[in-house]
């Protein structure tokens, strides 16, 4: 990170320019009761090299370092990132969080976002994609709110209990102060969502499910679309691992009306859970209810191609409380990163990488089953799966942790009755040797 220190003269010139005497006057508008009036408990100043050593020592305190192999997914995925992406993304003309309201000043950013929309629409099988949302969880909440706008007088939505627990919690937070009701649909013994309770009398505006779901199970999307549409609701298809659509049929092709999810897999590190990217798309007929920003292509007075923000019915423009969205940041840097990732791999690359993830996951699943674990769900999975162990798995986890392998997420904290059931995830970052080590430790 660049560090640009200010001299005393620099500070005086800035104060003179804005008409204040010192820092005390600069913060005079902040009430004294809100200020911290003690000395900051900071260490003595360090040189650049001393600071690097200090940060390295702090890093050693972490239980999980970049040297660890993480076999846990659950919404954040460890993938290799092509070196071209941070190199290009670090260019000054791209590395900005500024929203491109002034098209004459931001054609490069707008073009990049337009390319992202195009690639995302193709990946998800939708007519139009925005650019973009905060993350997958808020995108799901916005999708259900969009369903209520389309449904007008309807007051209820439903979502599968197999959707990521954190996503569902965010939806409940969004809906808590509203008059709308949320109904959770149970999942079957095979790990798929049970739509048997849906009927025309339910009066749902939208029904959401995730595929692959939190258990890694691939839902029967076309059957789900038929059941949801017969109930008179919009089909909201969510996801936490977009790489799956390099191998699976896209949600739009399967009949989804709105598609939304987390895009962290596309070129972004796990970064302790953030930042992420909310990917969002829908059918053309619902575009005027689409939340977030939308970049359109046009021509200028000279006939040259150009890009602008379009259908901008947001609270910062003209709609206020009737706006289709109240987000005030579109995760622009993450959006452009995802566009570069998709463009770098291309359709063939995404398909090959998805197949590699699937194959490695199946190898570990089969190996754990042969080692004595039970696969909990019979339905097909992508790169995640749930197994149950006869004995306490925690000692095995500890031994693997000593070998820098983080394996298995305890699901009991999310689903009552899931004692000794663990979620595993395998991506291309896990070698065969790592997977064999996990299998051999389970056999002991």
pLDDT exceeds 70 at position 84: yes
User: Considering the chain, what is the average pLDDT of its residues?
Assistant: 91
Q: Provide, rounded to the nearest whole percent, the portion of the chain with pLDDT above 70.
A: 94
Query: Quick one: tokens of 312?
Result: 């901008």
Stretch 94-98: mean pLDDT: 73
Higher-pLDDT residue of 317, 271? 271
Which residues, in sequence order, are bridge partners of residue 422? 387, 410
Name the band, by pLDDT with cuts 50, 70 and 90, for residue 318.
low
Whether residue 197 is predicted with pLDDT greater than 70 in this model: the reply is yes
In the block, tokens 């007519």 appear at 127
Tens digits of per-residue pLDDT, 274-298? 888 999 999 999 998 998 888 999 9
Q: Where in the chain is the domain with CATH 3.40.640.10?
A: 84-342
- Reported as a single tens digit per residue, the pLDDT across 120-160 is 999 999 999 998 899 999 999 999 999 999 998 899 999 99
What is the reported pTM?
0.88
Average pLDDT over residues 107-126: 94
pLDDT of 242: 98
* Distance, CA of 50 to CA of 29 (rounded, Å): 37
What is the spatial distance between Cα 97 and Cα 333, in angstroms, rounded to a whole number?
A: 6
* Res 3: pLDDT: 63
Which residues have CB under 8 Å from 234's CB, separation 6+? 147, 150, 151, 205, 206, 207, 228, 257, 258, 286
| Banded pLDDT at 62 (limits 50, 70, 90) | confident
Question: Between these two residues, 154 and 4, which has the higher pLDDT value?
Answer: 154
pLDDT band of residue 108 (cuts 50, 70, 90) is confident
Give the pLDDT mean for 255-283.
94
Predicted pLDDT at 12: 93
Distance CA 350, CA 33 (A): 54
**Do the beta carbons of residue 214 and residue 182 sit within 8 Å?**
no
Q: In the beta sheet, which residues pair with residue 381?
A: 217
Q: Report the range of poorest mean pLDDT among 5-9, 187-191, 376-380.
A: 5-9
Q: Give the pLDDT mean for 383-397.
A: 96
Q: How far apart are CA 163 and CA 141, in angstroms?
A: 12
User: 């790990």: which residue's tokens?
Assistant: 191
Query: So what's the architecture of 84-342 in CATH?
Result: 3-Layer(aba) Sandwich (3.40)
State residue 327's pLDDT score: 64
| pLDDT for residue 91 | 85
Does the pLDDT value for residue 219 go beyond 60?
yes
Alpha helices in 280-415 (DSSP H): 332-370, 394-402
CATH of domain 69-81+348-443: 3.90.1150.10
Using the predicted structure, report yes or no on whether residue 65 has a pLDDT greater than 90.
Answer: no
* Average pLDDT, integer, range 373-387: 97
CB-based burial label for 351 (10 Å; 0-12, 13-18, 19+) = middle
| pLDDT recorded at residue 330 | 59
Q: Which of 133, 166, 57, 93 has its CA nearest to residue 331?
A: 133
Q: pLDDT band at residue 2, thresholds of 50, 70 and 90? A: low
Portions of the chain given CATH number 3.90.1150.10? 69-81+348-443
Among the residue ranges 45-59, 177-191, 278-292, 415-429, the one predicted with the least confidence is 45-59
pLDDT tens per residue across span 325-346: 666 565 788 999 999 999 999 9
Alpha helices of 90-163 — where are they, by DSSP H? 107-124, 136-151
Q: 136-151 and 165-175 helices cross at what angle (nearest 10)?
A: 50
């Amino acid at each position: 990170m660049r560090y640009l220190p200010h001299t005393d003269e620099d500070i005086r010139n800035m104060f003179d320019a804005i008409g204040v005497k010192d820092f005390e006057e600069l913060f005079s508008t902040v009430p004294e009761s809100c200020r911290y009036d003690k000395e900051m408990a900071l260490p003595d100043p360090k040189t650049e090299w001393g600071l690097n050593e200090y940060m390295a020592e702090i890093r050693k305190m972490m239980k999980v370092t970049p040297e660890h192999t993480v076999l846990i997914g659950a919404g954040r995925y460890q993938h290799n990132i092509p070196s071209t992406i941070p190199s290009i993304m670090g260019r000054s003309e791209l590395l900005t969080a500024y929203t491109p309201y002034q098209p004459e000043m931001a054609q490069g950013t707008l073009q990049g976002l337009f390319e992202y929309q195009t690639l995302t629409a193709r990946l998800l099988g939708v007519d139009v994609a925005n650019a973009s949302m905060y993350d997958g969880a808020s995108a799901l909440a916005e999708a259900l709110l969009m369903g209520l706008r389309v449904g007008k007088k309807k007051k209820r939505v439903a979502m599968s209990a197999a959707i990521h627990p954190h996503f569902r919690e965010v939806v409940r937070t969004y809906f808590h102060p509203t008059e709308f009701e949320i109904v959770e649909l149970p999942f079957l013994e095979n790990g798929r969502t049970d739509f048997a309770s849906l009927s025309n009398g339910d009066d749902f505006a939208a029904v959401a499910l995730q595929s692959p779901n939190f258990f890694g199970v691939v839902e029967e999307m076309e059957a789900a679309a038929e059941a949801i549409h017969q109930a008179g609701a919009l089909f909201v298809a969510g996801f936490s691992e977009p790489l799956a659509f390099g191998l699976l049929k896209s949600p739009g092709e399967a009949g989804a009306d709105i598609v939304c999810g987390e895009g962290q897999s596309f070129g972004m590190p796990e970064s302790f859970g953030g930042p992420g990217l909310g990917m969002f798309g829908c059918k053309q007929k619902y575009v005027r209810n689409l939340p977030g920003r939308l970049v359109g292509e046009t021509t200028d007075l000279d006939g040259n191609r150009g890009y602008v923000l379009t259908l901008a019915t947001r609270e910062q423009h003209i709609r206020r409380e009737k706006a289709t969205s109240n987000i005030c940041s579109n995760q622009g840097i993450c959006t452009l990163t995802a566009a570069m990732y998709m463009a770098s791999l291309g359709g063939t690359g995404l398909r090959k990488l998805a197949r590699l993830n699937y194959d490695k996951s199946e190898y570990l699943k089969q190996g754990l089953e042969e080692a004595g674990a039970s696969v909990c769900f019979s339905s097909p999975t992508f790169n995640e799966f749930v197994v149950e162990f006869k004995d306490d798995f925690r000692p095995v986890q500890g031994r693997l942790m000593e070998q820098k392998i983080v394996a298995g997420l305890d699901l009991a904290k999310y689903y009552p009755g899931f004692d000794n059931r663990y979620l595993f995830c395998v991506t291309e970052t896990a070698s065969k040797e790592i997977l064999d080590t996990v299998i051999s430790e389970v056999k002991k």
